[in-house]
């Protein structure tokens, strides 16, 4: 007897393969191949400003990183930046969501107001804050502080204030995302659980801690994951606002890699820095992925 | 939330708090944009006035300066349009079938492919820009639409696949079996039965992909040049070391963001739904 | 001109993972017969029907329709129709388009489709609902729409995995809480 035709499952698999292949191919070509090349370059000495210095460097770039204070500074800044903005986004977003949850009207107006920061380009937001909001003397913030008698400050030019300002910008742009997601999640919570808790004489704080928080936790985790990814690779807004400065005051790892590669033209070292950032990002996302799966 | 008359004062306080919170939300997040819009209508002198001028005669001079003459950002708007549209179209063409395959059909290595797609979504852009720059520079592909569109795909494609998977997963399996029994075959099943049902999802995904591409900066500024110069890069035309031309910058920013703002306002319900769907079921760049 | 449709299952084995659902069943249905499975949930009624339709593959044994070995044939090639438990109506199409779909897929001419659709719709009593969408129909009407779609191309075998009674003016399938039934008909309608 001749070979029986393909089973249904086998046909399904073949059809799926045909549908998936183009996209996978594109992904492999556009992302994986370049990343391998990035790794290869990180092992090279590649400096466009000193083209005579070429050759295999092995782990030399990585070793140099270890004793590079600017690198450790950027790691530290990345940590502070990411954790602060994500915490702020969740706390502010959740608080506002709780406050506004039961509002009968006006949710439409709020939605319109909040969708604007999300759809704006980060570079525009950065430039905008740099000029209209944080400019000494003429910016919104300075106008307010001057009116309040707190004087004028160089919000982006002062090394002590720059990081705060930059965190504020990122938080401003992305808190609406946290707010909208958490609001949607809160809206799906069943009201009868609260009725029961009320009957059990639970205070507002207890109701929040023991009912709301656990139920909304999956949404919070998801928001944290997403916002963390964005914060780790945040570039345009900081670049527009401070360029990484003053000095290295806002030079998160992202920006350090960029500056090294495209301002100082040391692409070998820049590649190594980017590899470190890549590992951190992949590590965090893998952790988060596992965290999500273990909870659901 | 039931209120008995005994709780009246508490209810009033709560309502007041609600209103204050709502007002804060609107002011903090909408006001800056409104302020920027107002600035774009002021003369440069009005902008720098202290105390700030509340009533002023609006002028369209800034917009005119930004659209006509040698500082026009029209070519940049066109550049943005070309890059964004190509990236969006190519992304959707590849992503929709791929998402269908991953969501519906029984596949080997489903989990690995799923993680691969998720991982590519999480890649930091700076990690990609370096190899792209080196390669494109070698082959003279800098400042080309092809090169830029290719790198735009790196963030659009995985995201689109991931989002579309959530939409495909909502369709019951029996739908496909019925179509197979109706002798539709797999391809026709996809075309006649499945795709019409995810039209809404495709629209939302397209919107997100378009938004992300339009707003891209890093890739555009490093790999672009004089031919390929999207509006996001063109903003810097109005900033120099000596001074910032505030009103012009505001006008340019308003124009650059106009498509994105309009889409955002028009599709706000869909966008919010897309955000929450994507957030609950899987990763996403935004 | 009626065709006979006979069904024969020989030693069908079906496994889901580690569990064996069907341990080698034998079955024979003569043309024109109505056959109903009754049994508790999990006993393999739906699995057997899906094997007949071709929606599941055999792990052993063979299936014959009209004495032809269709064990590995595609679902579409077997000329089997099915009314699914969830009806599986296409929500984006009207009732008319739903019923017409199987005929459209075999590229019947438009006039023939038109005739067959109204015939099937009338037969199950939903001819007044042809321009509605499934979402606008009641449960019973959806059921009849699914039925019409199943019979419109006059299949040689139609199955139903419904667990609730189906009754129309001319068509009565066995009711029952745990029942999956199918009818192997001759080509002449509507006798059951």
Cβ atoms of B171 and B103 closer than 8 Å: no
C54 touches chain A (CB under 8 A): yes
Chain B contact set for C76 (CB, 8 A): 180-185
pTM, 2 dp: 0.86
Chain B contact set for A119 (CB, 8 A): 211, 215, 257, 260-261, 263-264, 271
| Domains observed in chain B | 5-64 (no CATH), 71-281 (1.10.3720.10)
Name residues 144-173 of chain B within 8 A of C (Cβ).
Answer: 172
Q: Quote the percentage of chain C above a pLDDT of 90.
A: 17
Residue B155 tokens read as 């963030």
| Domains observed in chain A | 81-251 (1.10.3720.10), 253-296 (no CATH)
The β-bridge relationship of strands C80-83 and C157-160 is parallel
- Mean residue pLDDT of chain C comes to 77
Are residues A5 and C56, on separate chains, in Cβ contact within 8 Å?
A: no
Residue C174 tokens read as 């066995």
Residues of chain A whose pLDDT is less than 50? 1-2
User: In Å, how far is B211's CA from the nearest CA of chain A?
Assistant: 7
Task: Indicate the domain borders of chain C.
Answer: 1-78+157-192, 80-154
Chain B contact set for A179 (CB, 8 A): 25
Chains adjacent to C (≥3 CB pairs closer than 8 angstroms): A, B
Superfamily of domain C1-78+157-192: P-loop containing nucleotide triphosphate hydrolases (3.40.50.300)
Q: How many residues does chain C have?
A: 192
Per-residue pLDDT at C184 exceeds 80? no
Q: What mean pLDDT do residues C51-70 have?
A: 85
User: In Å, how far is C120's CA from the nearest CA of chain A?
Assistant: 30
Chains adjacent to A (≥3 CB pairs closer than 8 angstroms): B, C
B228 touches chain A (CB under 8 A): no
Cβ atoms of B72 and B66 closer than 8 Å: yes
CB pairs < 8 Å spanning A and C: 14
Give, for all 286 residues of chain B, the pLDDT tens digit. 444 544 566 778 888 888 888 888 888 998 888 888 888 888 877 777 666 667 777 888 888 888 887 778 889 999 999 999 999 999 999 999 999 998 876 666 777 788 888 888 888 899 999 999 999 988 888 889 999 999 999 999 999 998 999 899 888 888 888 998 888 888 899 999 999 999 999 999 999 999 999 999 999 999 988 889 999 999 888 887 666 788 888 899 999 999 999 999 998 888 888 887 766 654 444 4
Q: What mean pLDDT do residues C70-79 have?
A: 83
The confidence score (pLDDT) of residue C178 equals: 32
Chain B contact set for A219 (CB, 8 A): 279-280
Chain B contact set for C101 (CB, 8 A): 179, 182, 184, 192
Cα–Cα distance between C146 and C169 in angstroms, integer?
A: 15
**Of C143, C142, C137, C103, nearest to C119 (Cα)?**
C103
User: In Å, how far is B69's CA from the nearest CA of chain A?
Assistant: 23
Cβ atoms of B235 and B252 closer than 8 Å: yes
Are residues A9 and C57, on separate chains, in Cβ contact within 8 Å?
A: yes
Are residues C72 and A7, on separate chains, in Cβ contact within 8 Å?
A: yes
Are residues C75 and B184, on separate chains, in Cβ contact within 8 Å?
A: no
Q: A54 φ, ψ to 5°?
A: -130, 150
Number of Cβ within 10 Å of residue B123's Cβ equals 23
Q: Which of B178, B187, B200 best tests the C interface by mutation, with the highest count of C CBs <10 A?
A: B178
Cβ atoms of B265 and B101 closer than 8 Å: no
The confidence score (pLDDT) of residue B100 equals: 92
Q: What mean pLDDT do residues C36-50 have?
A: 77
The β-bridge relationship of strands C34-38 and C19-29 is unpaired
B50 touches chain A (CB under 8 A): yes
> Which of C54, C84, C106 is closest, CB to CB, to B178?
C84
B153 touches chain A (CB under 8 A): yes
B178 touches chain C (CB under 8 A): yes
Residue A207 tokens read as 């109701």
Q: Which of A27, A81, A260 best tests the B interface by mutation, with the highest count of B CBs <10 A?
A: A27
CA distances from C95 to B183, B280, C85, C118, C135 (A): 18, 34, 18, 11, 10
Q: Which of A97, A111, A115 best tests the B interface by mutation, with the highest count of B CBs <10 A?
A: A115
Residue of B nearest to A17 (CA): B101
**What is the distance in angstroms between the CA of the first residue and the CA of the last residue of chain B?**
33
The confidence score (pLDDT) of residue C187 equals: 33
Chain A contact set for C73 (CB, 8 A): 5
Are residues C102 and B196, on separate chains, in Cβ contact within 8 Å?
A: no
The confidence score (pLDDT) of residue B108 equals: 67
Residue of higher predicted confidence among B91 and C162: B91
User: In Å, how far is C139's CA from the nearest CA of chain A?
Assistant: 28
């Amino acid at each position: 007897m001749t070979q029986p035709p393909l089973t249904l499952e086998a046909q399904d698999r073949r059809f799926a393969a045909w549908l998936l292949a183009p996209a996978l191919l594109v992904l492999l070509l556009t992302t994986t191949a370049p990343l391998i090349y990035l790794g290869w370059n990180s092992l090279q000495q590649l400096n466009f400003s000193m083209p005579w210095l070429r050759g295999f460097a092995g782990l030399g770039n990585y070793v140099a990183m270890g004793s590079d204070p600017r690198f450790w500074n950027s790691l530290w800044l990345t940590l502070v930046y990411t954790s602060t903005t994500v915490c702020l986004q969740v706390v502010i977003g959740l608080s506002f969501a709780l406050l506004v949850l039961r509002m009968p009207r006006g949710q439409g107006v709020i939605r319109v107001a909040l969708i604007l920061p999300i759809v704006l380009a980060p570079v525009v937001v950065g430039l905008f804050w740099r000029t209209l909001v944080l400019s000494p003397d003429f910016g919104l913030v300075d106008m307010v502080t001057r009116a309040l008698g707190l004087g004028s400050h160089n919000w982006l030019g002062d090394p002590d204030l720059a990081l705060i300002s930059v965190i504020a910008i990122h938080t401003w742009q992305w808190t609406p995302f946290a707010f909208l997601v958490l609001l949607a999640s809160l809206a799906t919570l069943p009201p009868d659980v609260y009725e029961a808790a009320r009957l059990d004489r639970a205070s507002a704080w207890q109701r929040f801690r023991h009912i709301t928080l656990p139920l909304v936790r999956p949404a919070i985790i998801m928001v944290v994951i997403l916002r963390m990814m964005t914060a780790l690779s945040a570039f345009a807004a900081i670049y527009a606002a401070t360029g990484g400065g003053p000095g290295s005051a806002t030079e998160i790892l992202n920006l350090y890699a960029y500056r090294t590669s495209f301002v100082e033209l040391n692409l070998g070292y820049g590649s190594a820095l980017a590899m470190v950032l890549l590992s951190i990002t992949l590590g965090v996302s893998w952790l988060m992925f596992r965290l999500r799966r273990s909870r659901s | 939330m039931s209120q008995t008359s005994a709780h009246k004062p508490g209810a009033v306080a709560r309502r007041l708090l609600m209103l204050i919170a709502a007002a804060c939300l609107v002011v903090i997040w909408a006001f800056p944009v409104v302020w920027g819009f107002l600035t774009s209508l002021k003369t440069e002198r009005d902008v720098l006035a202290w105390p700030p001028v509340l009533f002023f005669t609006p002028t369209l001079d800034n917009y005119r300066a930004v659209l006509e003459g040698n500082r026009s950002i029209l070519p940049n708007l066109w550049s943005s349009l070309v890059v964004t549209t190509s990236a969006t179209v190519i992304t959707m063409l590849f992503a929709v079938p791929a998402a269908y395959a991953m969501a519906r059909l029984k596949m080997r290595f489903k989990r690995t492919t799923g993680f691969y797609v998720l991982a590519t979504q999480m890649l930091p852009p700076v990690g990609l820009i370096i190899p792209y720059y080196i390669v494109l520079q070698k082959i003279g592909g800098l400042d080309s639409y092809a090169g830029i569109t290719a790198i735009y795909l790196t963030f659009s494609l995985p995201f689109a696949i991931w989002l579309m998977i959530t939409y495909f997963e909502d369709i019951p399996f029996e739908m496909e079996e019925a179509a197979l029994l109706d002798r539709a075959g797999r391809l026709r099943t996809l075309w006649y039965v499945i795709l019409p049902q995810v039209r809404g999802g495709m629209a939302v995904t397209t919107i997100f992909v378009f938004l992300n591409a339009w707003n891209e900066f890093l890739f555009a500024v490093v790999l672009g040049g004089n031919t390929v110069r999207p509006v996001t890069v063109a903003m810097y035309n109005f900033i120099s070391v000596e001074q910032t031309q505030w009103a012009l910058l505001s006008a340019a920013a308003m124009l650059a963001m106009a498509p994105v703002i309009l889409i955002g306002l028009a599709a706000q319900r869909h966008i919010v739904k897309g955000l929450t769907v994507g957030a609950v079921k899987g990763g996403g760049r935004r | 001109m009626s065709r006979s449709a006979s069904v024969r299952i020989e030693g069908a084995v079906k496994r889901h993972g580690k569990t064996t659902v069907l341990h080698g069943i034998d079955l024979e249905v003569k043309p024109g017969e109505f056959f109903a499975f009754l049994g508790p949930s999990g006993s393999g009624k739906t699995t057997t029907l899906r094997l007949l339709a071709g929606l599941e593959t055999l792990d052993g044994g063979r299936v014959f329709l009209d004495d032809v070995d269709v064990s590995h044939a595609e679902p579409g090639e077997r000329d089997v129709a099915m009314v699914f438990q969830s009806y599986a109506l296409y929500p984006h199409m009207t009732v008319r388009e739903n019923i017409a779909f199987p005929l459209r897929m075999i590229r019947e001419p438009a006039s023939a489709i038109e005739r067959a659709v109204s015939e099937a719709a009338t037969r199950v009593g939903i001819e007044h609902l042809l321009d509605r969408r499934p979402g606008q129909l009641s449960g019973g009407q959806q059921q009849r729409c699914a039925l019409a779609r199943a019979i419109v191309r006059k299949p040689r075998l139609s199955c139903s995995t419904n667990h609730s009674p189906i009754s129309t003016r001319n068509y009565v399938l066995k009711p029952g809480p745990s029942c999956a039934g199918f009818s192997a008909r001759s080509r002449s309608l509507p006798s059951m």
